[in-house]
Amino acid sequence: MGWFKRLYHSITFRLALLYTLMFAVSVSGLFYFVFWTTSGFAQRQFEAAVQAEVAGLQESYQRSGTGGLVMAINRRLDPSRREGTIYLLVDPVGTPIAGNLRSWPRNVAVDDLWVNFNIRDLERAPKDLAEARALQFFTPEGFKLLVGRDIREQQQFRQQLLQSLNIGLAMTVLLGLLGGFVFGRTIMRRVEAITTTCRTIMSGDLSKRVTVVNAQDELGRLAQSINAMLDQIERLMRGMQQVSDNVAHDLRTPLNRLRSRLEDALRKLDNPSHVDAIEGAIGDADKLLATFSALLRIARAEAGLQRNFAELDLSAIGEDVAEMYGPLAEEKGLSFTARFEPGLWAKGDRNLIAQALANVIDNAIKYSPEGGAVAVVSVLIKGKPAFVVSDTGPGVPDEFKGKVLERLFRLEQSRTSPGSGLGLSLVQAVARSHHLDLKLEDNHPGLRVTLTFPQSVPAPAKIQDSIIVETALDAGNAKAA
């Protein structure tokens, strides 16, 4: 049913349907008119001919009485003349006197001038029942005259006409549907091309433009408007980047100088009592520089350049980062477990994914109290690879779960702990450019962060080890003991 639903929702299909419906209605109107005029014309012609004949016979009767009428009928019944004509003259009792009908047809109302009845041609086709239509005429003496025709032919003509009109209508509907599809598809293909281009642009390639097929028509104008809009967006973005780069540069350069002057001062210092002050100042400068770098990194990560993406071995990245942070967790007296399912591959930028995972782990370690536990795993969730990092820290209240991803936002309780408030924003930026699903949940107690990749990719040619690696880092060295 999926394809039907898709078809129904496609504008092409609906346009074609509407177009066909309208076409069918107008064509059937036209056909009905043709049918009505054609068959009506044939009927009127038939009736005029019968009436003329009756008039002729009436004349013979007036001139030479009933005898003349009989003679006239017999003359007209001459087989060399027209076929299918019906004549019957009966006396007031109903006995046939002249004509080619055996008897006066039954069920014929006396007051109707025109009558319809069934006849059977006994000589030629005794089995076929045919329909006839005739005009009645009464003489003053009470004789009844019936003049008519076999109307089979006429009915056949009508039926044939109706049939060909129906075939015509069916073909119109068919051709209309087909035409509608072709017509709709040509337009929709152009619309689809615009959509595809827009998607590419949204995924980070702002240099793409919509191809303008015909600059004069509506779609062409739409494409041109979109392109103009993109030009403007690109200009604005470049401007903004320029400004932020300039600001970053202009502020960082003096900061750098400040820092190196402090370093210089520290080197030449005679009075050791100033060492702490200067080192503190260097630390502050470093914090400022780190914040600038983080802001720039976020901006770049958000712009997300998918052309730099490669197939990544998620367990390898997980192991690297876990190995890097494990000792930090232990230094803090936390139990640290890392478990990575092998063979999980996804597309992305290796450094950005490592950075995102590192930031989440760093947070987990930072906020877990002594004796707490931090766990890092990679798993398949509904067929999609994911990193899950859980801690036993204070967690994040529901109302702040969206907020903590914002730049420079920090929870009241964590204001005193070190950090820039940019760690999770960077994770969010990486998630956005990689189409990762970033979820913050309650770990009862603590926080559980899940980073789910949009899809897994097959591992590149080289087959990976299928050993589940369990990293439980211990402070001591078993080998050395």
Binding site for another protein (CB under 8 A): 245, 248-249, 252-257, 259-260, 263-264, 266-267, 269, 272, 275, 279, 282, 286, 289-290, 292-294, 296-297, 300, 305, 308, 320, 323-325, 327-328, 331, 349-352, 354-355, 358-359, 362, 365-366, 418-419, 423, 477, 479-480
Compute the distance between CA of residue 435 and CA of residue 349 in angstroms, rounded to an integer.
12
Query: What is the nearest approach in angstroms of another protein to the Cβ of residue 385?
Result: 20
Bridge partner list, 451: 387, 438
Residue 28 vs 471, nearer CB to another protein = 471
Nearest to 119 by CA among 110, 57, 108, 109: 108
Residue with tokens 């802001």, as numbered in its chain: 295
Distances (CA, A) of 311 to 10, 18, 343, 426, 436: 35, 47, 12, 21, 15
Residue 72 vs 317, nearer CB to another protein = 317
Query: What is the nearest approach in angstroms of another protein to the Cβ of residue 4?
Result: 45
Residue with tokens 């109706």, as numbered in its chain: 162
Question: What DSSP line would sit under 225-278, residue for residue?
Answer: HHHHHHHHHHHHHHHHHHHHHHHHHHHHHHHHHHHHHHHHHHHH---GGGHHHH
Burial label for 429, CB within 10 Å (0-12, 13-18, 19+), is buried
Query: What is the nearest approach in angstroms of another protein to the Cβ of residue 480?
Result: 4
Cα end-to-end distance, the chain, whole Å: 68
The answer to whether 147 and 48 are in contact (CB under 8 A) is no
Residue 74 vs 253, nearer CB to another protein = 253
Query: What is the nearest approach in angstroms of another protein to the Cβ of residue 375?
Result: 18
Query: What is the nearest approach in angstroms of another protein to the Cβ of residue 241?
Result: 10
What count of Cα atoms within 13 Å lies in the side-chain half-sphere of residue 351?
7
Query: What is the nearest approach in angstroms of another protein to the Cβ of residue 435?
Result: 19
Compute the distance between CA of residue 190 and CA of residue 210 in angstroms, rounded to an integer.
10
Which two three-digit tokens encode residue 30?
A: 């036209």
Using only C-alpha atoms, the chain has a radius of gyration, in whole angstroms, of: 48
Compute the distance between CA of residue 432 and CA of residue 421 in angstroms, rounded to an integer.
18
Chain length of the chain? 481
Residue 48 vs 408, nearer CB to another protein = 408
- Helix (H/G/I), strand (E/B), else coil: 20: helix
Query: What is the nearest approach in angstroms of another protein to the Cβ of residue 173?
Result: 57
Query: What is the nearest approach in angstroms of another protein to the Cβ of residue 414?
Result: 14
Query: What is the nearest approach in angstroms of another protein to the Cβ of residue 172?
Result: 59
Residue 160 vs 308, nearer CB to another protein = 308
Compute the distance between CA of residue 180 and CA of residue 20 in angstroms, rounded to an integer.
7
Which two three-digit tokens encode residue 457?
A: 């990719």
* Residues 6+ away with beta carbon under 8 Å from 358: 321, 324, 325
Compute the distance between CA of residue 97 and CA of residue 88 in angstroms, rounded to an integer.
8
Residue 39 vs 293, nearer CB to another protein = 293
Residue 54 vs 294, nearer CB to another protein = 294
Residue 96 vs 419, nearer CB to another protein = 419
Nearest to 381 by CA among 314, 436, 453, 458: 453
Residue 222 vs 305, nearer CB to another protein = 305
Query: What is the nearest approach in angstroms of another protein to the Cβ of residue 339?
Result: 19
Residue 198 vs 289, nearer CB to another protein = 289
Residue with tokens 């390639």, as numbered in its chain: 205
Compute the distance between CA of residue 90 and CA of residue 271 in angstroms, rounded to an integer.
152
Residue 134 vs 352, nearer CB to another protein = 352
Query: What is the nearest approach in angstroms of another protein to the Cβ of residue 224?
Result: 31
Compute the distance between CA of residue 106 and CA of residue 115 in angstroms, rounded to an integer.
11
Residue with tokens 């190196």, as numbered in its chain: 260
Residue 192 vs 279, nearer CB to another protein = 279
Query: What is the nearest approach in angstroms of another protein to the Cβ of residue 282?
Result: 5
